[in-house]
Amino acid sequence: MDAIRADELIGLFQSWRDMFAAERDFLIALDGKVGDSDLGITMSKSFAAAYDTVAAEGAAAGLTKLLRSAGAIMAKTAPSTMGTLTATGFLRGAKALEGKDAIGTAEAAAFWRAYATGIAERGKAKLGDKTILDVLDPVAGVLEAQAASGAALAPALKAAADEAEAALERTKAMKAQHGKAAVFQEQTVGLQDAGATVGVFLVKAMSGYVAG
């Protein structure tokens, strides 16, 4: 796949829905170590609602409208911390792609940069706080470099997915600074961050969908 157009975007949301449904219990268990154990429920509910919404609107709505609608329904369906942050990411990403009819490497870079920036601003997070930002910021950087080198979308996303995995591993050495996990700062060292894991899942599913 050389680019993600509106009809492929609907398919991507289906892939995200299916992936978060499959990983629901894993995320519940992971979040339960130092969190509220609701992350798997939040993600599976919000992406199921997002897919239903974009599928109902159809490809004729266009990329920006579909992304905006997905973000809006996620905010209503799962108004938890991660639900709100994820919704914000899609709304910011939609704005970054205003007027575009396809997502190539440059557009993917712009989308994930806007997504990461939106999460940082809404969640008042910074790099090193052991959050999803610690995955998505380096992912955006890799995609920006891939776009600058003229890389096609599939290999660019593969590089981004590899960086996401490496970034997740780096978060294990960090202390959590936000949410319930912040109460257990020392105990979070060595643990895989649940929010950062969501970031990896998002990017890996996008990469797999484009490659497949």
Amino acid at 62: G
In this predicted structure, what is the pLDDT of residue 16?
98
Q: Is residue 1 part of a domain?
A: no
- Tell me the pLDDT tens digit for each residue of 121-154: 998 888 878 889 999 999 999 999 999 999 999 9
Q: Is residue 108 part of a domain?
A: yes
142, 125 Cβ separation under 8 angstroms = no
Q: Produce one character per residue of 154-166: b if its CB has 16 or more CB atoms within 10 Å, e if not.
A: bebbbbbbebbee
Q: Is residue 11 part of a domain?
A: yes
Q: Is residue 74 part of a domain?
A: yes
Say whether pLDDT at 23 is over 70.
Answer: yes
40, 28 Cβ separation under 8 angstroms = yes
Q: What is the mean pLDDT of residues 94-104?
A: 97
State which residues form the domain around 197: 6-211
Q: Is residue 111 part of a domain?
A: yes
How many domains does the chain fold into? 1
Tell me the pLDDT band of 36, cut-offs 50, 70 and 90: low
Residues 8, 47, 7: CA angle, nearest 5 degrees: 15
Q: Is residue 125 part of a domain?
A: yes
Burial of 3 per CB tally in 10 Å (0-12, 13-18, 19+) = middle
Report pTM. 0.91
- Tell me the pLDDT tens digit for each residue of 52-72: 999 999 999 999 999 999 999
In this predicted structure, what is the pLDDT of residue 164?
97
In this predicted structure, what is the pLDDT of residue 180?
47
Q: Is residue 152 part of a domain?
A: yes
Name the residue with higher pLDDT: 51 or 189. Answer: 51
Kindly report the CATH number assigned to the domain that includes residue 11: 1.25.40.340
